[in-house]
Amino acid sequence: MAEAIEGPKVRSIPEIDGLRAIAIIQVVFFHLYIYIKYKTGYANDIDENNILVSFAKNGHQGVELFFVISGFIIALPYIKGRTLQIGDFYKKRLVRILPSYYITLIIFLILYLLQHQKDQQQLFDQFLASITFLSNVILGKATSTNPVGWSLEVEIQFYLLLPLITLLLKLKNKTVYILLLAIIAIGPILNYSLATKELYPSLLNYIHFFFLGILIAKLYISKQAISFGAIIELVIALAALLCMFILDFSSIQHIYLHLILLFILFYLTVNSDFLKKIFGNKILATIGVLSFSIYLIHYQLIAIFGEFIFNHFLVAQNPFNVGISIFLIFCVVALGSYMFYVMIERMLMNLFKRK
pLDDT at 53: 83
What is the domain count for the chain? Answer: 1
Continuous H helices in the chain: 14-39, 51-57, 62-79, 86-115, 120-131, 135-138, 149-159, 162-169, 173-192, 194-198, 203-221, 230-246, 252-271, 273-279, 282-313, 319-340, 346-353
- Does residue 177 have a pLDDT over 60? yes
In a domain, 9, yes or no: no
DSSP state of 161: T
The per-residue pLDDT for range 122-176, each reduced to its tens digit, is 888 888 888 988 887 777 677 778 889 999 999 999 999 999 999 999 999 999 9
The per-residue pLDDT for range 87-96, each reduced to its tens digit, is 999 988 988 8
How sure is the predictor about 284, in pLDDT bands with cuts at 50, 70 and 90? very high
Higher pLDDT, 10 or 179: 179
How sure is the predictor about 45, in pLDDT bands with cuts at 50, 70 and 90? low
In a domain, 8, yes or no: no
In a domain, 192, yes or no: yes
In a domain, 5, yes or no: no
How sure is the predictor about 7, in pLDDT bands with cuts at 50, 70 and 90? very low
Evaluated on CA atoms 105, 134, 19, 39, the torsion sign reads negative
In a domain, 322, yes or no: yes
In a domain, 75, yes or no: yes
How sure is the predictor about 318, in pLDDT bands with cuts at 50, 70 and 90? low
How sure is the predictor about 198, in pLDDT bands with cuts at 50, 70 and 90? low
- Does residue 44 have a pLDDT over 70? no
- Does residue 319 have a pLDDT over 80? no
pLDDT at 199: 66
**Averaged pLDDT of the chain:** 86
- Does residue 47 have a pLDDT over 90? no
| Helical packing angle, 173-192 and 162-169, nearest 10° | 140
Cα atoms found within 13 Å of the Cα of residue 194, Cβ hemisphere only: 0
pLDDT at 113: 83
In a domain, 1, yes or no: no
Residues belonging to the chain: 355
pLDDT at 296: 96
Contact by Cβ (8 Å): 277, 235: no
Higher pLDDT, 164 or 35: 164
What is the domain extent for residue 308?
Answer: 14-353
In a domain, 6, yes or no: no
